[in-house]
Amino acid sequence: MQLVDLIANAAPLSDGFNRAITYLRVSVTDKCNLRCVYCMPEEGLAWLRREEILSYEEIVDIVRAAASVGVRAIRLTGGEPLLRRNVSHLVEAIAAVPGIDDVALSTNGLLLAQAAQSLAAAGLRRVNVSLDTLRADRFETIARRPGLDDVLAGIDAALSAGLKPVKINCVVMRGSNDDEIADFAALARDRDVFVRFIEVMPVHENLELSAQTYVSSDEILERIAALGELAPVAGPPGNGPARYFALPGSRGAVGVISPLSHDYCERCNRVRLGADGRLRLCLFGDHALDLRTPLRAGAGTAELAELLRSAMLIKPERHHLRLGEAASRMRAFSEIGG
């Protein structure tokens, strides 16, 4: 049976809580060229071996299966996805899969300036860029690497290439960058970008830091409201959990992503494919299904689709993330933002 026939005849993918699953995040590598203080230790993590990582062809096979059961949006993530060679080739292959109508990318932006045009030409629609400060010295303190100018150049290049909307993800930490909330809000007022403020989340590497630096989304919005009246807005196209607001006369908007203070589990529409081929059913839990083994044993589209359906049986209703309690380790903090 052709893939277009499978798409036409298959029932949409849904979990045990009647949530339609239409969004697949795909990690193409676990490696990163930054060492952000809230994300991983300075020495890095125990990286996957090359043979453990899915090839581009294997990723596309899983995307085909996902498309056959109703997944319509793909986001490429990492680690830092632009560290992997020829990501534009993967974008082009995914964009050509029948049923997939949105391909996006999350990046720290260091390599985006030189990649933006080729990504757009390959079929990438939009991009999220992680940026926690607009000050060069702080950038190096938070990311443990230099690179602010490169990230800003990457944002400009993405806009020039037509990768819109450009969403900027800022993890807010008290005493580190919370005094820049107004500066980031001004960026969204003056430029055609969408700045999303993310609550710092407790993971194994940052329990003490997260407890000491947590700023709630309610406080963030209160600070922005001091600049002018905030009006709720629909926000840009996408599949993420942000709530959006705009200051008077804004070209863009600000958003808040609040996994701790206002979780959004009832609206969850996503699953995540790790670089190692494990399908994670919740960002903050250990619920996962190995797709790499059956894929390398010869599983085709229909068999992979059935595995995706079976995975829905173990997708939890919600996470139980609490400040001061560790969630499962995340390979990239950018996983949170859609």
User: Which CATH number is 17's domain given?
Assistant: 3.20.20.70
Q: Where are the alpha helices (DSSP H) in the chain?
A: 3-9, 56-68, 87-95, 112-122, 136-143, 148-160, 181-190, 207-213, 217-225, 292-296, 301-311
Q: Which residues span the domain enclosing 32? A: 3-336
Judged against a pLDDT cut of 70, whether residue 319 lies above it is answered with: no
Q: Which residues are within 8 A (CB) of 323 and not within 5 positions of it... i.e. 6 or more apart? A: 202, 210, 211, 214, 260
- At 277 the three-state DSSP class reads coil
For position 38, what pLDDT does the model report?
Answer: 85
Judged against a pLDDT cut of 50, whether residue 324 lies above it is answered with: no
For position 231, what pLDDT does the model report?
Answer: 93
Q: Cα dist. 206→197, 202, 327 in Å?
A: 18, 6, 10
Q: Are strands 243-246 and 253-257 parallel, antiparallel or unpaired?
A: antiparallel
For position 269, what pLDDT does the model report?
Answer: 81
Query: Using CA of residue 269, residue 272, residue 278, residue 282, what is the dihedral sign?
Result: negative
Write the pLDDT tens digit of every residue in 146-185: 999 999 999 999 999 999 999 999 999 999 999 999 999 9
Number of structural domains found in the chain: 1
For position 261, what pLDDT does the model report?
Answer: 60
Q: What is the dihedral of CA 105, 110, 115, 116, to 10 degrees?
A: 60
Q: How far is the C-alpha of 290 from the C-alpha of 40, rounded, in Å?
A: 24
Judged against a pLDDT cut of 90, whether residue 95 lies above it is answered with: yes
Q: How far is the C-alpha of 108 from the C-alpha of 118, rounded, in Å?
A: 17
Q: How far is the C-alpha of 23 from the C-alpha of 97, rounded, in Å?
A: 14
Q: What is the CA radius of gyration of the chain?
A: 19
Query: Quick one: DSSP state of residue 241?
Result: -
For position 326, what pLDDT does the model report?
Answer: 46
List the one residue out of 59, 64, 73, 78 whose CA is nearest residue 21: 73
Residue 197 pLDDT level (bands cut at 50, 70, 90): very high
Q: How many Cβ atoms from other residues are within 10 Å of residue 136's Cβ?
A: 13
For residues 111 and 153, the answer to whether their CB atoms sit within 8 Å is no
Judged against a pLDDT cut of 90, whether residue 32 lies above it is answered with: yes
**More reliable by pLDDT, 171 or 330:** 171
For position 282, what pLDDT does the model report?
Answer: 79
Q: Which residues are within 8 A (CB) of 204 and not within 5 positions of it... i.e. 6 or more apart? A: 326, 327, 328, 329
Q: Which residues are within 8 A (CB) of 69 and not within 5 positions of it... i.e. 6 or more apart? A: 10, 11, 12, 13, 305, 308, 309
Stretch 72-93: mean pLDDT, rounded?
97
List the one residue out of 130, 119, 202, 201 whose CA is nearest residue 166: 130
Judged against a pLDDT cut of 80, whether residue 7 lies above it is answered with: no
Exposed (0-12), middle (13-18) or buried (19+): which is 60, by Cβ within 10 Å? middle
Question: What are the backbone angles phi and psi of residue 171, rounded to the nearest 5°?
Answer: -85, 120
Q: How many Cβ atoms from other residues are within 10 Å of residue 109's Cβ?
A: 28
Stretch 105-128: mean pLDDT, rounded?
98
Judged against a pLDDT cut of 50, whether residue 327 lies above it is answered with: no
Judged against a pLDDT cut of 50, whether residue 323 lies above it is answered with: no
Q: Cα dist. 301→7, 58, 60, 310 in Å?
A: 11, 11, 10, 14
The residues pairing with 14 across neighbouring beta strands, listed in sequence order, are 20
Q: How many Cβ atoms from other residues are within 10 Å of residue 40's Cβ?
A: 23
